[in-house]
Amino acid sequence: MCGRLSQYRGIHDFVAVLSIPDALINHVGDAPLARYNAAPTTALAVLHQQGQTLYADNLRWGWRPHWAKDRAAPINARVEKVAHGPFFRAIWRHRLIVPVDNWFEWVDDDNKTRQPWLIRRADQGPVFCAAIGQCPTPEAQARDDDGFVIITADSVGGMLDIHDRRPVVFRAALANEWLDPATPAERAEQMLLFEGESPETFEWHKVGKAVGNSRNQGANLIIQQA
């Protein structure tokens, strides 16, 4: 997890659920995002907070430190290592939320082909994925090495049938706490380890195999298949 996701509602729809009172500095626009099949290296809408101000920016999915240019930029970070390993040390305190509508996983079926599954909240509300990254700041323009990774944990319960890893997803109140720069790093780590949403929060269904090609876009990609 996770190698493909959807962001199709508008950024204001995501932010409204967070109920953050301060004004949003919106660099992604007001229209629906309409990203039904977003792949790694795609620029996605992320939320991050500077002081008391919430920002929405488009940021590349994938990041690596400057000394690791000889390897591909990871798109995910394991919760077991992210807070203490050297690879993500430079961005560990730079916390983001990646608001998505759903993500996709692939499972080998009886015909030895890979069947895509869509995973979303059972209430079909926004999915607030915990992430860290290197973002533009009010004082500096975007840089070529800006990017983010989504933090993942072991799957449990029925989600194990789909994939052995899952994003760490927060309910709205915890997403606010995660974004707040005043939240101590130790508290943030505890949130990741123990306070992510449980499998019962989610539902999943099969979708058509057209989602396997990241060039394909559109609402037909998220429709349940028999």
State the chain's maximal CA–CA distance in angstroms. Answer: 54
d(Cα 217, Cα 212) in Å, to the nearest integer? 11
SS3 assignment, position 86: coil
d(Cα 80, Cα 157) in Å, to the nearest integer? 19
Q: Which residues contact 136 (CB under 8 A, 6 or more apart)?
A: 57, 142, 143, 146
SS3 assignment, position 129: strand
User: Are the C-beta atoms of residues 148 and 60 closer than 8 Å to each other?
Assistant: yes
SS3 assignment, position 45: strand
In the block, residue with structure tokens 């759903």 = 102
Do you know the residue count of the chain?
226
Phi, then psi, of 212 in degrees rounded to 5: -65, -20
Nearest CA to 153 out of 100, 79, 88, 62 is that of: 79
Active site residues: 2, 105
Cα distances from 152 to residues 49, 145, 166, 224, in angstroms, run 21, 22, 5, 25
